Amino acid sequence: MIKMDRRTSLGLLGGSAALAAMGYRPAQAATPKDVLILVNEMGPNSLETMLPAANDQSRMVAWQVYDRLVSHGTKKMPNGAQGYDATMFEPELAESWEILDEGKTMIFHLRRDATFHDGTPVTAEDVKWSFDRAVAAGGFPTVQMAAGSLTSPNQFSVVDEHTFKITFEKANKLSLPDLAVPIPCIVNKKLVLENATEADPWGLEWSQRNDAGGGAFKVQSWKPGDQLVLSRFDDWKSGPLPELKRVVVRQIASPGTRRALLEKGDVDISAGLPPKDYAELAAGGNLKVVGTPIQGDLLFIDMNVQMKPFDNLKVRQAIAYAIPYQQIMDGALYNRGVPMFGADPSTTSFPPTWPTPSPFSTDLDKAKALLAEAGYPDGFETTLSFDLSQSTTREPIALLVQESLGKIGIKVTLEKVPGANWFANMASKSMPFVIAEFYPWLDYPEYHFFWTYHGGNNSVFNTCNYVNPRLDEQIEIARFAKDDAAYKAALTEMVGIVMADVPRIPLAQLFGDIAMQPNVDNYVYWFHNHVDFRTIKKA
């Protein structure tokens, strides 16, 4: 059990006073060189990423606290920042690997000196059990594994103590990339089984509050809704030892407070600020602000096509014409993103890329006419739901949509869903009208579609509840296509289908914004959009 001692709990309450209580005496509010303090609107709701209701911040924990078999190299991004390289794979827990049988067999040779945080050696049996556990977890983790055709315990075998094998019925180009995401992390089998029960054979009840990893950082303490403290695992062997000895992730709801702490120098990094703040901080020039277009990201509005009146295509088209796109870009996002609307409305053929701008723009007269054709000349009432933990952008978007739709007779009630309940609400498919976002961990259009449009996998991210067998067929063709022409043809048809059916209204591809002190170096943009504490250095 992870416990908070009095000194730690007092020491993380705020700014320079917090550091003093921890025994540090920084000058001019600067944090110690080997300690990083990050503030964010949300923190993890679990230390166990396999829980179906685990939030996105739990993926951050998995990234720092657990190892994966492989990782990615880095490259310079167009904005000059460092970013991960999706085309380059590097060792992590596996020091080498072989891909045989045209991609149908993968053999991984594990480091012989790797240990878990409790000193237990890492073996291939731990790896197999971890993969068995991931495909059995259900919900998001299991679907994520399936994206790389990792679906059955029968695929995973122990060759010897330090050799692990995966077999596939057919090769999938997403299989190796899927091993480098947070989900297939390696868990201490012996430790978890000691705390498992007959009702909970995978030990999720215990591991959601306890550390069972062997990654670069250990969980020192965790107070849900408040703060997470990580300490360096000095015996980590799966990469260069981090320069940071301690990381404090503090959850602070107020964006104004988070910004003030950063500007005063009391914290090192502020994540999750409103776009307005990032725009102003970047213009001020006193702090480092890095804005990277999030790979494959799409901020969108979903209409549940299994519910009236959104089962009516003309209703969906009417709403797509009633969205105040430019107002959202200017007033809610402060242009910290790439617009995904306003393409040529006459186009019938789309590029084989995603995201791509939709052919819709604001036209209230056309919206009202379509609404009348749909049989709703006087409009209707509905509820627009959004994640309260993302309220800095979602609430102003919701208010702008509410106002604009009111002009064509649609009365919109806003539902603010607590962040802790957001994934459960998404999975229930019970929300009729939703503001949401998806950014794919694997940079392939078909992966985005697999997660957010595929009708056969019941993905939590398919909040439009869209089921189209023809689209599903094209997604599967794209996933396994070896011929480039066939691949691009499938992508083009996929994009055309969703633009015509409009279950989802694209808004923007957002920036992955981060603000930090000038002495924070080696920030690397990653597909999961979390800070990788393993690379951070402080001058």
What is residue 7's predicted lDDT score, i.e. its pLDDT? 33
Task: Give the CATH fold of the 298-511 domain.
Answer: Dipeptide-binding Protein; domain 3 (3.10.105)
- For residue 5, how many other CB atoms are within 10 A of its CB? 10
- Mean local confidence (pLDDT), 323-330: 97
Integer Cα distance of 518 and 526 in angstroms:
20
pLDDT reading at 17 higher than 80? no
| pLDDT tens figures, 146-186 | 989 999 999 999 999 999 999 999 999 999 999 999 999 99
What is residue 484's predicted lDDT score, i.e. its pLDDT? 94
CA 49 to chain centre: 12
pLDDT reading at 191 higher than 80? yes
- Mean local confidence (pLDDT), 193-199: 96
Residue 515: pLDDT band (50, 70, 90) is very high
- Mean local confidence (pLDDT), 77-83: 86
pTM here is: 0.82
- Mean local confidence (pLDDT), 141-149: 91
Which residues lie closer than 8 Å to 94 by C-beta, 6 or more apart?
Answer: 69, 70, 108, 109, 110, 111, 164
Q: CB-side exposure of 157: number of CA atoms within 13 Å?
A: 10
**% of the chain residues with pLDDT over 90:** 83
pLDDT reading at 213 higher than 70? yes
What is residue 188's predicted lDDT score, i.e. its pLDDT? 98
Please provide the average confidence, as pLDDT, over all residues in the chain: 92
- Residue carrying the six token digits 């059995």: 136
Residue 189: pLDDT band (50, 70, 90) is very high
Residue 218: pLDDT band (50, 70, 90) is very high
pLDDT reading at 114 higher than 50? yes
Q: Do the beta carbons of residue 207 and residue 61 sit within 8 Å?
A: no
Integer Cα distance of 128 and 121 in angstroms:
14
More confident residue, 26 or 34: 34
What is residue 67's predicted lDDT score, i.e. its pLDDT? 98
Q: Which two tokens stand for residue 414?
A: 């806003």
| pLDDT tens figures, 94-110 | 999 999 999 999 999 99
Q: Which two tokens stand for residue 484?
A: 């480039």
What is residue 31's predicted lDDT score, i.e. its pLDDT? 84
pLDDT reading at 13 higher than 50? no
Q: Exposed, middle or buried, 29 (CB in 10 Å: 0-12/13-18/19+)?
A: middle
> What stretch(es) of the chain map to CATH 3.40.190.10?
6-268+517-538
Q: Do the beta carbons of residue 438 and residue 297 sit within 8 Å?
A: yes
Q: Which CATH superfamily is domain 6-268+517-538 in?
A: Periplasmic binding protein-like II (3.40.190.10)
The residue type found at 529 is N
pLDDT reading at 143 higher than 90? no
Which residue, among 520, 304, 337, has the nearest Cα to 426 in the 3D structure? Answer: 304
Integer Cα distance of 142 and 172 in angstroms:
16
Element (H, E) at 267: none
pLDDT reading at 221 higher than 80? yes
> What stretch(es) of the chain map to CATH 3.10.105.10?
298-511
**Strand blocks (E) in 77-116:** 82-91, 94-100, 105-110
- Rounded (10°) CA dihedral 335, 338, 342, 346: 170
